[in-house]
Amino acid sequence: QVQLVESGGGLVQPGGSLRLSCVASGATLRTYTTAWFRQAPGKEREFVATIKRYGGATYYADSVKGRFTISRDNAKNTWYLQMDGLKPEDTAVYYCAAGMGLITSSLRIGAQYDHWGQGTQVTVSS
């Protein structure tokens, strides 16, 4: 059974940085496309970033482009989200997700991912 566990969330001041991690068990990470989504209070879940399983191409939401970086370490079965220049509007619960067989046009669609973590809270506030 595939399990994903996030860590690294917390409280940070505007302009600060955090790095989220997601560790996968029960799966070989290199066969999965992996992503980050987030959900703020009262809002729908939204796509943040993804990294494809083969080739490692990355895609970002416009709202985080240039500030966030997604990466992965297949040997450790772990992927990361480095968040710099954090803004109050980045406050949300962040979820990692993994899926197989996704095509480029479906990478930003949460329903296309097979496995999800439990979420980690990121709060950006002074």
Tens place of pLDDT per residue across the chain (126 aa): 899 999 999 999 999 999 999 999 988 888 899 999 999 999 999 999 999 988 889 999 999 999 999 999 999 999 999 999 999 999 999 999 999 878 888 899 999 999 999 999 999 999
Beginning with the edge strand found earlier in the chain, give each strand of the sheet holding 78-83 in spatial order: 3-7, 18-25, 78-83, 68-73
Beta carbons within 10 angstroms of residue 58's beta carbon: 15
Q: What is the pLDDT of residue 9?
A: 96
pLDDT at 52: 92
Question: Can you give the pLDDT at residue 104?
Answer: 81
Torsion of CA 53, 92, 82, 72, to 10 degrees: -20
Beta bridge partners of 126: none
